[in-house]
């Protein structure tokens, strides 16, 4: 998508509003994972180097439309100051007198973080008046929060109407480049790996990718709905009964297109989802017995998947192969993560649990691009329009 980039704009002496994604886990005032803060640093530094005054805005958690101390962004301001090596101001509100006075005091080179946008219910309502108040703080708009781009909120869509220049930040630009390239002009073979719990969560993605990929590798609990649709016994495995007919149609469409649509042929099975569950393995091609459930792909499956991954030139992965949070059920997901990392292909992790999986496997640095968007990545890969992207200026 050819959107205006922050690199295209002269920001010297101007106030720039940057929508960032600082929705980080905080416990007892301490930030547990600063990945999303670190991801915004390149855009912030670029703007500071260009002589801008930088106003940052984000949501945090799910406050009930009013101020709540546990959802304050103040700890993030302190963390960001340490990462930038400079003072970061903090406004105790994102609109009104606190925000206005803090912005008025800014000079080029200053950084200001506004308080949690969702302390105002008008943010998620995309209230025009609230959006106009936010827009009144700055002269240029930049969105660097891909993870919220699928939401038409005041800070992602509504306020953009008040700006002539609406640019993508460096992180947003990177997301659009890699995800967009995978969908429009991938190097082939193009292999997509899809996992997770439900077919219903991935319908748009599967449907959209079927006409673009050379092979689909399916894992996770969603595989059992497809196996059930194929008439196979799946024991107590998680199945979406109302999606069996849809799964059968997708399998038929794949066959008609000559698309490789690979499903697990062997399984790690357990009597329940627990660390101390009884665990067993099925032989390739055997059904899952009554009283047991599939919790991970088996060794024959991940060896087959690894060969396909090795042959690929573009790899897109969204969703784990099993209940990887529980150690006895994590081997399939970790094996796939290592195979993707060992590949010379352009590898893209499409947000969500797949990001945790590559972190757990210790292969983060070997991945070409790790998306910061969960729902946003899914909707983009599903071919849906993202309001926060559409709102940005075209080049």
Task: Look up the domain containing 294 and give its range.
Answer: 178-381
Whether 249 is covered by a domain: the verdict is: yes
Residue 293 sits in the same domain as residue 164: no
Same domain, 99 and 197: no
280: nearest Cα among 328, 215, 229? 328
Please indicate, yes or no, whether residues 162 and 242 belong to a single structural domain of this protein.
Answer: no
Q: Same domain for 151 and 202?
A: no
pLDDT value, residue 198:
86
> Final residue of a domain: which of 123, 142, 171?
171
Active site residues: 36, 198, 352, 375
**Pair (318, 207) in one structural domain:** yes
Domain edge (last residue) among 171, 197, 223: 171
Asked if the structure places residue 391 within a domain, the reply is no
Domain identity same for 345 and 292: yes
Cβ neighbors of 162 (< 8 A, separation 6 or more) are 131, 132, 135, 136
pLDDT of res. 1:
67
**Quick check: is 389 in a domain?**
no
Residue numbers in the chain where pLDDT is lower than 70: 1
| Structure confidence at residue 203 (pLDDT) | 86
- Distance between CA 23 and CA 33 in Å, rounded? 10
pTM of the full predicted structure?
0.91
CA 234 to chain centre: 30
Q: Which of 109, 141, 171 lies at the terminal end of a domain, its last residue? A: 171
Q: Are residues 123 and 154 in the same domain?
A: yes
Residue 148 has a pLDDT of: 95
Q: How many folded domains does the chain comprise? A: 2
Query: Do both 167 and 222 map to the same domain?
Result: no
pLDDT digits 0-9 by tens, 308-318: 999 999 999 99
* Co-location of 147 and 243 in the same domain: no
Q: In sequence order, which residues have a C-beta less than 8 Å from that of residue 313 and are 6 or more positions away? A: 186, 187, 188, 189, 190, 345, 346
pLDDT at 389: 97
User: What is the reported pLDDT for 28?
Assistant: 84
Asked if residue 276 is part of any domain, the answer here is: yes
Query: Is residue 157 domain-shared with residue 192, that is, in the same domain?
Result: no
Residue 386 in any domain: the answer is: no
| 73 assigned to some structural domain | yes
Residue 117: CATH number of its domain = 3.40.50.1260
């Amino acid at each position: 998508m050819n959107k205006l980039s922050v690199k295209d704009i002269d920001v010297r002496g101007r106030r720039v509003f940057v929508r960032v994604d600082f929705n980080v886990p905080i416990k007892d005032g301490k930030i547990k994972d600063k990945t999303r803060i670190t991801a915004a640093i390149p855009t912030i530094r670029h703007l500071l180097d260009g002589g801008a005054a930088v106003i940052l805005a984000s949501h945090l958690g799910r406050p009930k439309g009013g101020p709540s101390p546990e959802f304050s962004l103040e700890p993030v301001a302190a963390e960001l100051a340490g990462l930038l090596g400079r003072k970061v101001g903090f406004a105790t509100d994102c609109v009104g007198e606190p925000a206005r006075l803090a912005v008025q005091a800014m000079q080029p080179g200053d950084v200001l973080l506004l308080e949690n946008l969702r302390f105002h219910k008008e943010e998620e309502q995309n209230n025009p008046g609230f959006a106009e108040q936010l827009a009144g703080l700055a002269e240029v708009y930049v969105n660097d929060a891909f993870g919220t781009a699928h939401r038409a909120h005041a800070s992602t869509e509504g306020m953009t109407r008040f700006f002539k220049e609406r640019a993508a930040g460096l992180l947003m630009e990177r997301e659009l480049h890699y995800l967009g390239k995978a969908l429009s002009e991938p190097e082939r073979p193009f292999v997509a790996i899809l996992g997770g719990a439900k077919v219903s969560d991935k319908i748009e993605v599967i449907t959209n990718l079927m006409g673009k990929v050379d092979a689909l590798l399916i894992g996770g609990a969603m595989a059992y709905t497809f196996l059930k649709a194929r008439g196979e016994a799946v024991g107590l495995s998680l199945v979406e009964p109302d999606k069996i007919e849809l799964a059968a149609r997708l399998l038929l469409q794949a066959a008609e297109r000559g698309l490789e649509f690979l499903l697990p042929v062997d399984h790690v099975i357990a009597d329940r989802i627990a660390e101390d569950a009884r665990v067993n393995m099925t032989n390739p091609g055997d059904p899952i017995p009554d009283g047991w459930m599939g919790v991970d792909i088996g060794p024959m499956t991940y060896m087959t998947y690894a060969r396909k991954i090795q042959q690929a030139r573009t790899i897109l992965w969204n969703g784990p192969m099993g209940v990887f949070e529980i150690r006895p059920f994590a081997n399939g997901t970790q094996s796939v993560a290592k195979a993707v990392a060992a590949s010379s292909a352009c590898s893209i992790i499409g947000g969500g649990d797949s990001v945790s999986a590559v972190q757990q496997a210790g292969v983060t640095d070997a991945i070409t691009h790790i998306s910061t968007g969960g729902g946003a990545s899914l909707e983009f890969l599903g071919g849906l329009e993202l309001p926060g992207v559409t709102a940005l200026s075209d080049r």
